[in-house]
């Protein structure tokens, strides 16, 4: 079981508000960070924006004995267009991404999704790498990465490797990352002018975690649809994609095809409610993408 799975209990906990003792390290290079994380005698954890990890440490749902602060590592920052892809450093904050010039033409789906993440104070600290590593089933960015066919660039003790978003999210708060791995950056294809995108989520108040959400990419060509906050992880709705690739007007059949998904309830509702909400958010995201 990934240690991240413990984080799931954070929102329900009423326990202590002080973290257990830990050693704080602030390396200024990736190599030093990985060496600290790879120490077999410690249970070290990387710290990015701290918007999830710090509360979990305060509730003692996470108790790393070494905290490896990534905030001094320049190699993890920066956004650039390279070979037809937008490459985003893991430590880029949501707010930095949202204000990146031309984001809405380079990556329209990302631009649509970012304002839905929490509130501005959290968007000023939270990072794309932290969001993907945490893999909260209710988070927006894992679904956006699935819809955009993102590649997640990982670095660990044995070097670098590239992981497709499709195989990255394994379960609730569980990813394909190993203990000493770090997300270094993420690449998404730059949007072409023919691509169409849609994003919709329902939540009780703006800024709350979604009760259900849908991200649609490439409507009209090869649609990719990802759902979040309806199952144990963000996932693609491949049956619905196939229906809409054949007939973009057949939304009823696409919604019926969502039956293949293993809907899972949370604090907001049970699996049946999630099934209904998934259909509603898909309908609206698809309408936006094809308008
Ligand atoms: C009140 C509130 C509301 C929120 N609402 C939303 C919301 O609506 N939608 C949403 O998506 N999120 C929401 N969040 C969570 C927020 O987006 C967090 O910022 C995000 O989940 C984690 O990002 P972080 O940079 O803060 O990571 P941290 O909290 O620092 O770390 C999270 C986890 O990722 C690991 N980690 C961090 N960076 C890396 C890396 N580069 N490589 C490997 N592992 C890494 C850490 O060790 C830890 O396990 C909310 C948080 C709060 C407090």
* Digit-coded pLDDT (tens) for 34-50: 999 999 999 999 999 99
Mutation probe of ligand 1 site: the residue of 22, 46, 121 with most atoms within 8 A of C-beta: 46
Please determine, for residue 1, whether its predicted confidence score (pLDDT) is greater than 70: no
Distance CA 291, CA 285 (A): 10
Q: Let me know whether 141 and 177 are in one domain.
A: yes
Verify that 185 and 139 share a domain, yes or no: yes
pLDDT band at 220 (very low <50, low <70, confident <90, very high): confident
Give 272 Cα–ligand 1 centroid separation in angstroms. Answer: 28
In this prediction, residue 73 has a pLDDT band, given cuts at 50, 70 and 90, of very high
138 CB burial (10 A radius; 0-12, 13-18, 19+): buried
Question: b/e per residue, 245-279, with b = 16+ CB within 10 A?
Answer: beeeeebeebbebbeebebeebebbeeebbbebbb
How far apart CA 286 and CA 245 sit, in angstroms, is 12
- Residue 143 shares a structural domain with residue 177: yes
How far is 167 from 181, CA to CA, in rounded Å? 16
113 CA distance to ligand 1 centroid (A)? 16
Residues 130 and 202 in one domain: no
Segment 178-191 mean pLDDT: 97
121 has a pLDDT exceeding 60: yes
Number of C-alpha atoms within 13 angstroms, CB side, residue 132? 36
Average pLDDT over residues 145-173: 98
4 in any annotated domain: no
Q: What is the mean pLDDT of residues 39-66?
A: 96
Atom of ligand 1 nearest to the CA of 126: 19
Q: Specify the residue with its C-alpha closest to ligand 1, atom 21.
A: 131
Do residues 116 and 51 both lie within one domain?
no
Q: What is the CATH number of the domain that holds 24?
A: 3.30.43.10
Nearest CA to ligand 1 atom 19: 126
Smallest CA-to-CA distance from 127 within 97, 107, 148 is with 97
User: Do residues 91 and 76 lie in contact, with contact meaning Cβ atoms separated by under 8 Å?
Assistant: yes
Same structural domain, 185 and 219: no
The percent of residues in the chain predicted with pLDDT above 70, rounded, is 95
151 domain-assigned: yes
- Intra-chain end-to-end CA distance of the chain, in Å: 43
What are the pLDDT digits (tens) for 6-45?
Answer: 444 545 555 557 899 999 999 999 999 999 999 999 999 9
Q: What is the distance between the alpha carbons of residues 209 and 291, in angstroms, rounded to a whole number?
A: 26
Of the three residues 134, 160, 189, the one that is the final residue of a domain is: 189
Q: What pLDDT is recorded for position 219?
A: 79
Q: Residue 118: inside a domain, yes or no?
A: yes
Residue 8 lies in a domain: no
User: Which residue range(s) make up the domain with 61?
Assistant: 13-68
Strand positions, DSSP E, the chain: 23-25, 44-47, 66-69, 79-82, 85-89, 151-156, 159-164, 169-171, 174-175, 182-189, 198-202, 212-217, 224-228, 235-236
Residue nearest (by alpha carbon) to ligand 1 atom 5: 118
**Number of folded domains in the chain?**
3
218 part of a folded domain: yes
Residues 106 and 161 in one domain: yes
What's the rounded Cα separation, in Å, for the pair 226 and 197? 12
Over 60: is that where the pLDDT of 183 sits?
yes
Among 133, 168, 189, identify where a domain stops.
189
Pocket, ligand 1, Cβ cutoff 6 A: 4, 45-53, 70, 90, 117-118, 122, 126-127, 129-131, 133-134, 136, 139-141, 177, 182-183, 209
Pocket perturbation via mutation, ligand 1, pick of 48, 98, 183 by most ligand atoms within 8 A of CB: 48
Whether 3 maps to a domain, the answer reads: no
**Is residue 178, in this structure, part of any structural domain at all?**
yes
Same domain (yes/no): 182, 165: yes
What spacing in Å lies between the alpha carbon of 35 and ligand 1's midpoint?
23
Q: Are residues 60 and 27 in the same domain?
A: yes
Q: Is the distance from CB of 227 to CB of 239 less than 8 angstroms?
A: no
Give Cα separations from 234 to 33, 139, 227 (angstroms).
Answer: 28, 8, 6
Residue 217 belongs to domain with CATH number: 3.30.390.50
């Amino acid at each position: 079981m990934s240690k991240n799975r413990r984080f799931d209990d954070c929102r329900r906990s009423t326990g202590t508000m002080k973290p257990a003792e830990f050693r704080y390290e602030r390396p200024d290079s990736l190599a030093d960070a990985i060496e600290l994380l790879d120490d077999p005698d410690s249970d070290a954890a990387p710290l990015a924006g701290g918007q999830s990890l710090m509360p979990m440490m305060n509730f003692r749902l996470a108790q790393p004995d070494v905290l490896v602060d990534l905030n001094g590592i320049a190699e993890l920052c920066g956004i650039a267009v390279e070979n037809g892809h937008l490459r985003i450093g893991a430590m880029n904050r949501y707010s930095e991404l949202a204000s990146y010039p031309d984001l809405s033409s380079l990556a329209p789906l990302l631009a649509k999704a970012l304002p839905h993440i929490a509130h501005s104070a959290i968007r000023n600290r939270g990072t794309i790498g932290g969001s993907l590593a945490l893999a909260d089933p209710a988070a927006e960015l894992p679904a956006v990465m699935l819809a955009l066919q993102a590649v997640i660039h990982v670095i660990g003790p044995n070097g670098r490797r590239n992981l497709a978003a499709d195989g990255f999210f394994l379960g609730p708060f569980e990813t394909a990352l190993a203990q000493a791995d770090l997300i270094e950056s993420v690449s998404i294809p730059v949007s072409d002018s023919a691509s169409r995108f849609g994003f919709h989520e329902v939540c009780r108040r703006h800024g709350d975690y979604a009760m259900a959400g849908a991200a649609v990419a490439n409507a009209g060509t090869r649609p990719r649809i990802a759902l979040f906050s309806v199952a144990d992880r963000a996932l693609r709705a491949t049956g619905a994609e196939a229906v809409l690739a054949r007939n973009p007007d057949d939304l009823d059949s696409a919604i019926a095809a969502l039956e293949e998904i293993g809907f899972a309830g949370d604090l907001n509702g049970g699996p049946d409610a999630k099934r209904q909400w998934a259909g509603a958010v898909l309908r609206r995201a698809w309408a936006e993408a094809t308008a």
